[in-house]
Amino acid sequence: MNSASRLAPPRTLIMGVLNVTPDSFSDGGEYLDPQVAIARARELVRQGANIIDVGGESTRPGASPVSLEEEQRRILPVIEALSAEGITVSVDTLHAATARAAVRAGAHYVNDVSGGLHDDEMFQTVAGLSGEHDTRMIIGHWRGVPDPAHSRSEYRDVVVEVSDALAERAVRAVAAGIAPHRIVLDPGLGFDKTAAQGWQLLAHLERLAVLGYPVLIGASRKRMLAETLGAHDDTAARDLATAVVSSLVARSGAWGVRVHDVASTAAALAVTAAFEAGARTATSAGAGFEAQPTRDRITLTGLEVFAYHGVYDFEREQGQRFIIDAEVAVDLSAAAAGDELARTVNYAELVGTILEAVANDPVDLIETLAERVARVALGFAGVRQARVTVHKPDAPIDATFGDVSVTIERGVE
């Protein structure tokens, strides 16, 4: 266990960057060999990464496009190996065909920095994969391959315009069939935005949060950090600066951060979580309450679903009732303060998501079903822990009984 994991677990997910390319701006050529890439991914997970973002084509200025065949040749063996080990994988691609192949190889996320603008088939492809594979879509803000001369970096108000553009892309994604709870937004730092504009976006993340989608931030080692560091710029300094950004955006409610150096960001997020826990404890003690961190909760009980799960053939053929109880831990203070639905979990959407998860592919065990429900509940923005009970009141048991159920608790690690 590393030093970061001994502190309170981070509230923001860490996406570790794994570029299987010869020309990425920071680590091009280091992980072209599949075995080296797989070993690197394992190292990132040990350091605290929750997701590994695997890319086979660089989008840095001046990078050469690669064929679909070459992109997939680079990434698919890595994705298959990592998925087989239970590691959550994202594929960083502009191409619908590569997204399809990657998801079928085991990727859970499609990270498209163009937000579906580069390939018109991307949204439809992800929508088609979502039902079977529970695929999630990360939609980036994009005006094209980044222009270092900033010829496309003119904004009247970068915060408003980027937010509006991402909102429009999210609407298009939903219209194509991607469920809202499967969408994550990324403001696209460094993609036709100056350093000053990037800092404005980071300072006003609440403008993105009110759209109601999780927000991913990718500032790692980017030029905006180099310009800020000036004469002190080098890789170590950029990683330190990245960790500081990770801490700041975590406190602003970012769902995730995409970073090259996971260890420093994991430590920063652990310290941030400990700091916030201390602040909550002090506030509670000062108000006369017991001095301990508290977690707000939303609880759903007695959700009845008819589905076709079970070990026996007749269960798969005839179906039966399943009753779901779900409790999610989420900080509700912002929602209460502003009376805003976007700041909490929409429990109507939560119900719809659970219904869809339970009605999907038949499985043998209610343990498996509970795991599936917990996973989709944790996919909602702000949810840090989920307690799920699956009841099977009509189970084929040769005895008189009232109910049989399993309960699991899962959290963001």
Cα 223 to Cα 85, 94, 212, 235, 380, distances in angstroms: 34, 22, 29, 11, 31
- Annotated catalytic residue 222: yes
Which of the following is catalytic: 258, 372, 387, 392?
258
Beta-ladder partners of 327? 299, 387
d(CA 377, CA 232): 43
Beta-ladder partners of 297? 329
Cα 225 to Cα 89, 204, 338, distances in angstroms: 27, 18, 33
- Annotated catalytic residue 258: yes
In the 3-class helix/strand/coil scheme, how is the chain assigned residue by residue?
CCCHHHCCCCCCEEEEEEECCCCCCCCCCCCCCHHHHHHHHHHHHHHCCCEEEEECCCCCCCCCCCCHHHHHHHHHHHHHHHHHCCCCEEEECCCHHHHHHHHHHCCCEEEECCCCCCCCCHHHHHHHHHHHHCCEEEEECCCCCCCCCCCCCCCCCHHHHHHHHHHHHHHHHHHHCCCHHHEEEECCCCCCCCHHHHHHHHHCHHHHHCCCCCEEECCCCCHHHHHHHHHHCCHHHHHHHHHHHHHHHHHCCCCEEEECCHHHHHHHHHHHHHHHHHHHHHHHHHCCCCCCCCCCEEEEEEEEEEECCCCCHHHHHHCEEEEEEEEEECCCHHHHHHCCHHHCCCHHHHHHHHHHHHHCCCCCCHHHHHHHHHHHHHCCCCCCEEEEEEECCCCCCCCCCCCCEEEEEEECC
d(CA 42, CA 319): 41
Cα 36 to Cα 56, 240, 321, distances in angstroms: 14, 25, 48
CB-count exposure of residue 190 (10 Å: 0-12, 13-18, 19+) = buried
Which of the following is catalytic: 193, 222, 387, 392?
222
- Which residues form the catalytic set? 222, 258
